[in-house]
Amino acid sequence: MRVEQGFIRQQLFGGKRELQCVICGRSFPTELVRAAHIKRRADCSSAEKRDYQNNVVPMCTLGCDELFERGYVVVRDGSVQKGRKVASTPAVEDYIAQIVDRLCLSYYRGSDLYFNWHSQAYD
């Protein structure tokens, strides 16, 4: 885990014991939630790396973070949608079907720029 992950988790999540995943909307113990960058950190400018308030959101490690990071799902206009990557198994397809068309809980002015970047990168 990068040093910054601990800092960001503390700033955004504080001492909360439970957090809601912005993709699936379910609540999880904080140990099962990742401080996920919307725009890949490697593609961020220095200013974007510091903009953790808009570019980092809680995503569950039980599926949403990996599906988002790998482009199986994207957020368009505030709604979770299928990305261009095709689900390779029925289990992945079923998981995606459960979250498609959900409203993203962290889509707002500021984060929309990062979600738009992610959507374009995986469409």
Asked if residue 53 belongs to a domain, the reply is yes
Q: What is the mean pLDDT of the chain?
A: 93
- At 54-99, the pLDDT tens digits run 999 999 999 999 999 999 999 999 999 999 888 889 999 999 999 9
Mean predicted confidence (pLDDT) in 40-48: 94
Contact present, 71 and 96 (Cβ < 8 Å)? no
Question: Domain range spanning residue 20?
Answer: 3-118
57 burial class (0-12, 13-18, 19+ CB within 10 angstroms)?
buried
Count CA within 13 A, CB hemisphere, residue 51.
16
- At 3-25, the pLDDT tens digits run 577 888 888 888 899 999 999 99
Contact present, 23 and 102 (Cβ < 8 Å)? yes
Asked if residue 87 belongs to a domain, the reply is yes
The residue count for the chain: 123
| pLDDT exceeds cutoff 80 at 1 | no
CA 6 to chain centre: 17
- At 100-120, the pLDDT tens digits run 999 999 999 999 999 999 999
Q: Rounded CA gap, 23 and 59, in Å?
A: 7
Asked if residue 34 belongs to a domain, the reply is yes
Asked if residue 102 belongs to a domain, the reply is yes
Those residues with Cβ within 8 angstroms of residue 5's Cβ, 6 or more apart along the chain or in another chain = 35
Q: Rounded CA gap, 66 and 61, in Å?
A: 7
Domain count, the chain: 1
Asked if residue 29 belongs to a domain, the reply is yes
pTM of structure: 0.91
